[in-house]
Amino acid sequence: MKTENKYNAIVIGSSSGGMDALRKILSVLPKSFELPILITQHVSPSSDNYITQYLNKLCKLEVKEADEKEKIQVGKVYFAPPNFHLLVEKDKTLSLSTDSRVNFARPSIDVMFETAAWAYGSSLIGIILTGANFDGSNGLKIIKDFGGLTIAQDPKTAHSPTMPEFAIAATKVDHILPINKIGEFLSEL
C-alpha cells in the first residue's frame, strides 16, 4: 500500500567535504523527484557558482543559486549564494540576507534550517552532512522539535565528522546513514 508523501521540502547543510557528499546524494535522485531541496554549503565569500554548475551537469534535477523572492518549486535544488544567508519565508519564497555571520558562517546552515522549520513545520526533512564545525546542529534540533524528519551523515563516512557528530549530540536524529545511502533513502520516501 503506497502512502502519500507527508514531506514538502528538504534542507541540507554541509561544509568541508560537502561537494563530494552532495554529488553522491543529488546525482542519484530521479528527474521525477517531487521535493524541492535547499542547500547551504559553506563556501568562501568570493566563490563563483562552480558548485552549482558542476552539480547541474551531473544531476537530473535543476541545480541553481537561489534568487531573492524566488518561489520554491518542486524538482529544483537551490543553493545559498556565497556570502548570503538563505532564508525560507512563510509563503514558501526565498530571501537572501547579509546579516552578521552565524556560527562563523555566512551562509549559515542554522539560519536556513530554522527559517525552513518555521515555514514547513513537520513536513520538512533536515539533513546534516560532513563539516568541521557545529553549524546546523541547533537548526536540526529545531526541525526535530517541529516534528520534521532528521538525518545525519554517519560520521564514519564524513570527510570531516564534526558537524554530524554535533548534530547527533544535539538531538535524537531519526536516521544516521552512510553518505552513499542518503540519496537512495530520499528516493524511496
Q: Across all residues in the chain, what is the average pLDDT? A: 93
For residue 183 the three cell numbers come to 540519496
Q: Which residues are catalytic?
A: 15, 42, 135
**Residue count (the chain):** 189
The beta strand positions in the chain, using DSSP E, are 9-14, 37-41, 62-65, 76-79, 85-88, 94-97, 124-128, 149-153, 175-177
Give the domain ranges of the chain.
9-188
CATH topology of domain 9-188: Rossmann fold (3.40.50)
What's the pTM? 0.95
pLDDT along the chain (189 residues), means of 10: 71 95 96 96 82 90 95 95 95 94 89 98 98 94 98 97 96 97 94
Query: Quick check: bond before 107 cis, omega within 30?
Result: yes
